[in-house]
């Protein structure tokens, strides 16, 4: 249809609608003038504010929240709060931006590792778990997550339902299933060849791809169903069977095709990589973040710096995998693999921090119970970060990695009002972040257990 014809039709429709309204038939007389309600204004009194735009803490500040967003941040001395205004008093608290975990699996459960559930669980079981876990994550102070691996396309639907306000949860940057080679970290290995678990055989569960053409196809198919980010397995894994965490699983050429196709679609791409060579391949392919990065060597660290690649190193969950997961059915093969990489990963984290590589906070939540995400801060500080560095890895730097710096990651005018508060000073005791007393997301309070 030509634009002029369209406009003409529109004019005709408007004319018809106008003449259908006979003046004087409205029982209220003239058409009511409904003014939109002004957005609700809330004044948040922040005793100690780490806004994460820099490393310093400001005292006695006021954050003015209008609707979903922050309108102003100023010293209390310069803010005149009108009488009767809505005030949230966090003057005895340390106030920070909502935290961001760049590596979660909201649909995954850590309370049972028996392989039988790979066959018993339905997509609905996964989704019910995700609803519960989304709330736990939000109430732990994580107002945004990048969810990097779930059944197709659970994270996309979870994002939609949270954004529509149907269920409470963090903002979600959603991936599809992690893309894997046949027999790789994302495949179901070592069972009878007659065994199949696949909802979409033609698409190989939107997950398994071999060779450049299949990779381009699966990335495009995931984009078609609404993912924000692509996840690909560059090496073997710890919690899969029959593969080695150290071994590369895609060629450099295949990873390049994945990165190029993702970027062409305006998506970032994250690579799961434990092994030294697979880490370097991911960086050289132009992938935006390396997940785990357990066995990164000096050359890998140098390459990550040179390419500006983020490392997302999950250095808490080793405790859980070795101490708790075996009690709930984790097979010996996986325990052995964790023993190979867990401690080395912590040492290599320290080297990467010293070298000044870009780091974003990510924990692999779902491997350990959701809601315990902040337990990783302790290890980040133990292995070389200052508390403020660790906090910025989970706020401003994480927002940069997930491409959401315009909306989240700092407490600044124009950003979403994603605000948390803790009672003790997180810069002297980073573990205080494990006990978040107040959570606001988009101007709405989701948790308030303030105390003296
Ligand atoms: Zn993971």
**Tens digit of each residue's pLDDT (9 = 90 or more) over 140-159:** 999 999 999 999 999 999 99
Strand partners, 359: 311
Ligand 1 mean position, distance from CA 72 (Å)? 37
Is the pLDDT score of 249 beyond 50? Answer: yes
pLDDT score of 424 more than 60: yes
**pTM recorded for the entire structure:** 0.90
Of the listed ranges 74-83, 294-303, 320-329, 374-383, the one predicted with least confidence: 320-329
Residue 366 CA to ligand 1 center (angstroms) comes to: 8
Q: 73: CA distance to ligand 1 center in Å?
A: 36
Residue 74's φ and ψ, nearest 5 degrees, are: -150, 165
Task: Please state the rounded mean pLDDT for residues 258-280.
Answer: 98
One DSSP character per residue, 373-440 reads: TTHHHHHHHHTT--HHHHHHHTTHHHHHHTT-TTTSSS--TTSB--EEEESS-TTT-GGGGGSEEEEE
CA of 214 to the centre of ligand 1 (A): 23
Both structure tokens of 341: 């990489």
Q: What percent of the chain has pLDDT over 90?
A: 81
Residues 418 and 441 sit within 8 Å (Cβ to Cβ)? yes
Instruction: Identify the residue whose tokens are 């396309």.
Output: 153
Query: Which tokens belong to 162?
Result: 């949270």
Q: What is the whole-number distance in angstroms between the Cα of residue 200 and the centre of ligand 1? A: 22
Rounded to the nearest angstrom, the distance between the alpha carbon of 364 and the centre of ligand 1 is 5
Strand ranges for 181-267 from DSSP E = 229-233
- CA 375, 380, 382, 384: dihedral to nearest 10 degrees? -170
State the pLDDT at residue 33. 66
CA of 105 to the centre of ligand 1 (A): 6
Cα 380 from Cα 360, distance rounded (Å): 11
Ligand 1: centre distance to CA 318 (Å): 13
129-138, 316-325, 355-364: segment of lowest average pLDDT: 316-325
Q: Which two tokens stand for residue 108?
A: 């995954």
- What's the mean pLDDT when you consider all of the chain? 92
Nearest to 363 by CA among 100, 40, 26, 113: 100
- In this prediction, residue 20 carries a pLDDT of 41
Which pLDDT belongs to residue 199? 59
pLDDT given for residue 195 in this prediction: 75
- How confident is residue 193, by pLDDT bands cut at 50, 70 and 90? confident
- Strand intervals (E) in 13-154: 41-49, 58-66, 69-75, 86-97, 99-104, 142-147
Q: How many residues does the chain have?
A: 452
- 24 pLDDT higher than 70: no
Q: For ligand 1, an ion, list residues with CB under 5 A.
A: 364
Where helices occur in 285-331 by DSSP H, the ranges are 298-307, 318-323
Largest CA distance in the chain: 82
User: CB neighbours of 250 closer than 8 A, spacing ≥ 6?
Assistant: 181, 215, 232, 233, 234, 258, 278, 281
| Angle, in degrees to the nearest 10, between helices 211-224 and 252-264 | 30
Residues 6+ apart with CB under 8 A from 12: none
Measured in Å, residue 292 CA sits from the centre of ligand 1 at 8
């Amino acid at each position: 249809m030509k634009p002029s014809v369209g406009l003409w039709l529109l004019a005709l429709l408007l004319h018809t609608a106008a003449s259908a309204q006979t003046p004087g038939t409205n029982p209220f007389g003239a058409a009511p003038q409904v003014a939109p309600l002004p957005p609700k204004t809330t004044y948040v009194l922040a005793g100690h504010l780490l806004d994460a735009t820099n490393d310093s803490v400001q005292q006695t500040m006021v954050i003015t929240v209008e609707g979903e967003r922050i309108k102003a941040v100023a010293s209390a001395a310069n803010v005149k709060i009108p009488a009767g205004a809505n005030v949230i008093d966090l003057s005895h608290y340390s106030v920070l931006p909502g935290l961001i975990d760049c590596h979660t699996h909201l649909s995954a459960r850590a309370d049972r590792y028996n392989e039988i559930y790979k066959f018993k669980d339905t997509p609905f079981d996964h989704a019910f778990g995700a609803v519960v876990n989304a709330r736990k994550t939000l109430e732990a102070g994580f107002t945004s997550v990048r969810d990097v691996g779930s059944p197709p396309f659970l994270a996309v639907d979870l994002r939609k339902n949270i954004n529509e306000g149907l269920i409470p949860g963090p903002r979600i940057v959603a991936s599809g299933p992690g893309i894997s080679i046949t027999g790789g970290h994302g495949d179901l290995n070592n069972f009878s060849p007659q065994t199949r678990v696949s909802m979409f055989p033609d698409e190989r569960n939107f997950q398994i791809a071999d060779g450049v053409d299949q990779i381009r196809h699966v990335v495009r198919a995931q984009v078609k169903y609404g993912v924000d980010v692509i996840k690909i397995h560059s090496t073997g894994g710890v919690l899969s069977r029959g593969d080695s965490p150290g071994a590369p699983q895609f060629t450099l050429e295949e990873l390049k095709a994945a990165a190029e196709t993702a970027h062409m679609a305006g998506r970032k791409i994250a690579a799961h990589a434990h092994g030294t060579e697979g880490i370097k391949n991911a960086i050289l392919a132009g992938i935006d973040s390396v997940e785990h990065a357990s066995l990164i060597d000096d050359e890998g660290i140098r390459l990550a710096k040179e390419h500006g690649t983020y490392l997302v190193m999950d250095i808490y969950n080793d405790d859980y995998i070795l101490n708790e997961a075996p009690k709930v059915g984790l097979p010996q093969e996986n325990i052995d693999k964790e023993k190979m990489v867990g401690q080395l990963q912590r040492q290599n984290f320290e080297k990467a921090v010293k070298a000044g590589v870009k780091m974003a906070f990510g924990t692999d939540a779902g491997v350990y119970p959701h809601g315990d995400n902040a337990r990783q801060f302790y290890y980040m500080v133990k292995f070389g970060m200052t508390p403020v560095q660790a906090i910025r890895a989970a706020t401003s730097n994480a927002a940069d990695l997930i491409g959401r710096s315009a909306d989240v990651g700092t407490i600044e005018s124009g950003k979403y009002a994603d605000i948390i508060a803790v009672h003790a000073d997180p810069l002297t005791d980073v573990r205080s972040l494990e006990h978040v007393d107040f959570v606001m997301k988009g101007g709405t309070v989701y948790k308030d257990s303030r105390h003296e």
